[in-house]
Homo-oligomer: A and B are copies of this chain.
Amino acid sequence: MTTAAPTLKTSIAYPKGQITLREVGLRDGLQMVDKFPSTQGKLDWLALEYAAGMRHFELGTFLPTDRYPMFGDLELLIAKAMEYPDLHGAALVPNKRGAMDAFASGVSELHCVISASEEHNQANLNRSCADSLTEIRQIIELRNSRHPETTIGVGIAMSFGCSISGEVAPNLVLTLAENLYEIGADIVSLADTVGYAGPKQVEHLAREMYSLASGRPFGIHLHDTRGLGLANASAALGQGVSMLDASLGGLGGCPAAPKATGNIVMEDLVFLCQTAGFDTGIDLEKLLLTREVLKREMPAQPLYGALAMAGLPKIGNTVANT
């Protein structure tokens, strides 16, 4: 099958040597909530966060909308989001059927998922890791032949330990990542799905990923389940990670711990990046104002974030001291 090389598009989406922050609140943030924002609320959220400088959004999951009503407006949301110049929108696709819908929607990126642990892959996707890999390969072939403009990202769930099977060998994760690049994934992300990672572990895996990716982008998807989310993000930043996921107000939860916090807080992550000298292109004051949409749309939802409570430091440039 002849294929158009999609590398140019990916390199625009994930510029080399630059940190990309991705808002996953509209997907990962909503997956477990009872009450979710109206379509207009989602569009307001998108508009305000775009105005604050955010360019990467995960917009939803292509799942049956009777069971996942929070994603019932996904096609509309994608269509509206794709009208913004430079906006890179991703949708999670759990299977080939979802991928077909996603390709048709015109979203910039399909985000496929596979687990580093056989037990979790079965529990989450109801199939073996080998079957998931085959399906991802088929989705990539479809992209190559018919949708060369679409980026394919793959997230490896439970990369830092699994709440079902326990420890996950780093080499297993790295070998899987290598396979995924080989079959044509544009970006591979390691996900700490249940918040088991510590910074040493992140540092180690990110360093290895940087080496094996050889210039291709790679991401780290962190949760703040056990409080180490930003410490882990800081470790990943030090090892050349291309993309970090987070959500406004830390929206989201943990499938394995009902009372736990969710994704790392975008506002605090932007502050972290700034103190470390990374230009994220995001205006923190405007980003903080975007929380008002969540408060309005989901008043019962706890919002996290230390910066929102404390305010920005009264200092010109926190980087100057380093």
Q: Which residues of A are in contact with B by a Cβ distance under 8 Å?
A: 160-161, 163, 166-170, 194-201, 204, 224-228, 230-231, 233-235, 254, 256-257, 259-261, 265, 268, 271-272, 274-277, 305-307, 309-311, 313-322
Contacts and interface: CB of A to CB of B under 8 A. Distances in A.
Given A227-B307, A228-B230, A275 B200 contact: yes
Contact of A161 (B166, B271, B321): B321
B227 A306 contact: yes
A254 B185 CA distance: 46
A315 B196 contact: yes
Given A167-B321, A318-B196, A233 B231 contact: yes
Interface of A is mostly: loop
6 contacts: A166-B316, A199-B272, A201-B275, A201-B318, A231-B231, A260-B310
Contact of A200 (B161, B163, B201, B276): B276
B321 A268 contact: no
Contacts of A166: 314-316
B228 A271 contact: yes
Nearest to A198: B275
B199 A234 contact: yes
Given A167-B321, A275-B201, A224 B306 contact: yes
